[in-house]
Amino acid sequence: MEDNFEPTILTFCCNWCSYAAADSAGTARMQYPPNIHIIRCMCSGMVHPNFVMNALTQGRTDGVLICGCHIGDCHYQDGNKRAEKRAEAITLMLEDFGLEEERFRLEWISASEGPKFVEAAKEMTKTLKELGPNPYKS
Ligand code: FES
């Protein structure tokens, strides 16, 4: 593995909670790794597993992070419960494609949890640096 490997982490943040958390982290000048590339979506339940698997198997990213509201707080009632079910399917597909399950992560982060967003970003970056590049990238 290259010592200077910098993973790319595609990060879906729901508009109402986790995007606000990332925004508040930035406003509070909390530092998080530049490896995180945020896509703002309306709800974590809108992120279809195909988006995740295509990004990984087409070698467009080293990992995917989905962040949404805590269970019970989804602004579309149960979108995050759908995301949770989809996460299970994604984990199975990762195995089928020979990818480590650590390349995908689902987090519940409320608008007031900027530090939690920063922590998730740091942890995932560290994990992916240890794993090395996505084998589908070459
Ligand atoms: Fe945030 Fe549904 S609106 S997870």
Distance (angstroms) between ligand 1 centre and the Cα of 45 equals 7
Distance (angstroms) between ligand 1 centre and the Cα of 27 equals 21
Q: What is the pLDDT of residue 100?
A: 98
75 lines ligand 1 (CB under 6 A): yes
Q: What is the pLDDT of residue 138?
A: 73
Q: What is the pLDDT of residue 66?
A: 98
14 lines ligand 1 (CB under 6 A): yes
Average pLDDT per run of 10 along the chain, which is 138 residues long? 85 98 96 97 98 97 98 97 98 97 98 98 98 93
Residue 41 contacts by C-beta under 8 Å, 6 or more apart in sequence? Answer: 12, 13, 14, 15, 47
Distance (angstroms) between ligand 1 centre and the Cα of 78 equals 8
Q: What is the pLDDT of residue 31?
A: 95
Rounded Cα gap, residues 74 and 77, in angstroms: 5
Reported as a single tens digit per residue, the pLDDT across 103-129 is 999 999 999 999 999 999 999 999 999
Q: What is the pLDDT of residue 2?
A: 57
